């Protein structure tokens, strides 16, 4: 890590690769779901990058890494719990409740019109905001995946998504 602090890119890559099994082991110990462990890995790698200037080389790097991984795992568990409290997974209820409006023949036209309006509003957004909506909302990618795919920070993706949704909302209200 001391070499990485001095700007040694090769040493930094080796270090980050070596961190991955340690992070996964900490996340497993915290009972993070298997399909979310890679989100913790991405979060911790980004945290290490952001916090690398705070590391004191006279202290154990593994201990430093384990505390950060543990904290990020707890953060992810809290976020997941909050989402679970808001959302209900009920596939049977979803299938057994018919959509009454589907029988309405004019619905197809209205739907097509609405889709066109959304598409036009989306096309008018700046490229970065459009990209955020595309990956998060339309393709339902995770924040970590989108960050890796677009090579942009999670923070900037969140900001762009927030601005995009705000802009879309105001465009749609204006058209209504």
Binding site for other proteins (CB under 8 A): 4-10, 12-13, 16-17, 20, 38, 41-42, 45-47, 49-56, 63-64, 67-68, 71-72, 75, 144-145, 147-149, 151, 153-156, 158-159
Q: Per 3-state DSSP, what percentage of the chain is helix, strand, and coil (rounded to 5)?
A: 80, 0, 20
CA–chain centroid gap for 33, Å, is 16
User: Shortest distance, CB of residue 137 to other proteins, whole angstroms?
Assistant: 20
The answer to whether the beta carbons of residues 3 and 11 sit under 8 Å apart is yes
The answer to whether the beta carbons of residues 118 and 176 sit under 8 Å apart is no
User: Shortest distance, CB of residue 172 to other proteins, whole angstroms?
Assistant: 28
Of 39 and 133, nearer to other proteins (C-beta) is 39
DSSP letter string, 14-39: HHHHHHHHHHHHHHHHTT--GGGHHH
User: Shortest distance, CB of residue 131 to other proteins, whole angstroms?
Assistant: 16
The answer to whether the beta carbons of residues 100 and 135 sit under 8 Å apart is no
User: Shortest distance, CB of residue 91 to other proteins, whole angstroms?
Assistant: 25
Q: Who's near 3: CB < 8 A, 6+ residues apart?
A: 11, 12
**Rounded distance between C-alpha atoms, residue 163 and residue 172, angstroms:** 14
User: Shortest distance, CB of residue 89 to other proteins, whole angstroms?
Assistant: 23
């Amino acid at each position: 890590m001391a070499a990485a602090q001095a700007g040694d890119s090769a040493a930094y890559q080796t270090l980050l690769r070596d961190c991955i099994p340690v992070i996964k082991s900490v996340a497993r110990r915290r009972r993070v779901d298997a399909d979310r462990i890679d989100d913790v890995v991405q979060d911790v790698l980004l945290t290490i990058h952001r916090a690398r200037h705070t590391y004191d080389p006279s202290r154990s790097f593994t201990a430093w890494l384990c505390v950060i991984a543990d904290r990020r795992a707890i953060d992810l568990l809290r976020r997941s719990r909050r989402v679970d409290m808001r959302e209900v997974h009920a596939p049977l209820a979803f299938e057994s409740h018919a959509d009454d409006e589907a029988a309405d023949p004019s619905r197809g036209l209205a739907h097509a019109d609405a889709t066109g309006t959304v598409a036009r509003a989306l096309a008018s957004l700046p490229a970065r905001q459009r990209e955020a909506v595309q990956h998060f909302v339309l393709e339902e990618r995770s924040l970590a995946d989108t960050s890796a795919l677009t090579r942009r920070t999670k923070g900037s993706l969140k900001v762009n998504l927030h601005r995009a949704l705000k802009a879309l909302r105001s465009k749609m209200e204006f058209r209504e």
